[in-house]
Amino acid sequence: MQITPLGDSAVILHVRETFDEAPNETLDEVLGYSDFLRQAHLPGVIEVAPAYTTVALFYDPVRAVAAGADPNAVFEWVAARVQTEIANGSIRLKRSPGSAIEIPICYDQKFAVDLDEVTSHVGLTAEQVIEMHSGAEYRVSCLGFAPGFPYLSGLPPELATPRRPVPRKQIPAGSVGIGGNQTGIYPTTSPGGWNIIGRTPVRLFTPQKNPPALLCAGDIVRFRPITLHEFDELAG
């Protein structure tokens, strides 16, 4: 498996070449490697994080040398340790969990500020878009962009809509958007370019908890449409 440097304090393990061709198998494999390498506690490695097709291992070069790395070949040493660990270990694929986490979403026009753009782009009615969006099953491919922001694969291809040409300066926390062939939820108020079609009252990022994210890479997600009234009740 190819390993390349990410600057002078990290390496990237390239698990697969592509993602969209086989999202589930790729995720199972990448998350399997990520968990395995995190639990391996390799000397000098301080953090392991997956992203779609790759796994990053962040290391402290000083600690790597203290653990025996040749100071002139630290990257090669770290890469060799990772390769050896993979060769000698048994990587368990991260199978998708059987049950889905249900996220209530209010698609009311009060929140769905870009629903018109989506309907005109995809050529469906608002009702059809909502029905298809809430009828599909999704999987969290990756967390990123912002803390706890889930990139969800599994969007019905008919709903794919390009990102807005100019990102909005402020998108409220809980906003649900479509960006290309992915959907996602903004956990905190932030700028963003996805087309907003609803909002959830559920908190996706709670820094006081560990893990701080409600949804983690590999999780299965379904959306349940709720009314504005239900939204207000759930939001408390």
Partner 1 sequence: MRFGMKINVRHAGFITLVQDSGRIGFRRFGVSVGGALDPHALRIANLLVENEEGAAGLEITLGGFRAHFDDRRLVAWCGGGFDVQIGSVSLPPGHVGAIDPGEELVIGPPRTGCRAWLAISGGIEVPKILESRSTDLRSEIGGLDGRALRAGDVIPLGRHTNGADEVAGLLRKDKVSAWSAPANWTSTARSSPVLRYVRGSDWDRFDPSAYDLLEHQIFTVTQDSNRMGVRLDGPFLWRKDYNDLISQPVAPGTIQVPPNAKPILLLGDCQTIGGYPKIAHVITVDLALAAQLRPGDSVRFREVSLPEAHKLLFQRERDLGLFRVGLEARAA
Residues near partner 1 (CB under 8 A) are 4-10, 12, 18-19, 34, 46-54, 56, 58, 61-62, 65, 71-75, 142-149, 151, 188, 190, 205, 207-208, 210-213, 216-217
Instruction: Answer yes or no: are the C-beta atoms of 55 and 34 closer than 8 Å.
Output: yes
Give the shortest CB-209-to-partner 1 separation in angstroms.
9
- Closest C-alpha to 112, from 126, 101, 100: 126
Tokens read off for 49: 């994080």
DSSP string, 41-53: T-TTEEEEEEETT
Closer CB to partner 1, 6 or 235, in the complex: 6
Closer CB to partner 1, 86 or 217, in the complex: 217
Instruction: Answer yes or no: are the C-beta atoms of 122 and 136 closer than 8 Å.
Output: no
- Taking the CB of residue 76, how many other CB atoms lie within 10 A of it? 13
Give the shortest CB-23-to-partner 1 separation in angstroms.
11
Q: Are strands 150-153 and 168-171 parallel, antiparallel or unpaired?
A: unpaired
Closer CB to partner 1, 52 or 107, in the complex: 52
Give the shortest CB-115-to-partner 1 separation in angstroms.
25
Closer CB to partner 1, 146 or 226, in the complex: 146
Give the shortest CB-75-to-partner 1 separation in angstroms.
5
SS3 category, 164: coil
Closer CB to partner 1, 61 or 225, in the complex: 61
Tokens read off for 152: 């969800």
Give the shortest CB-20-to-partner 1 separation in angstroms.
9
Instruction: Answer yes or no: are the C-beta atoms of 33 and 47 closer than 8 Å.
Output: no
Angle at alpha carbon of residue 116, lines to 112 and 120, rounded to 5° = 145
Closer CB to partner 1, 69 or 226, in the complex: 69
Give the shortest CB-154-to-partner 1 separation in angstroms.
17
Tokens read off for 185: 């939820």
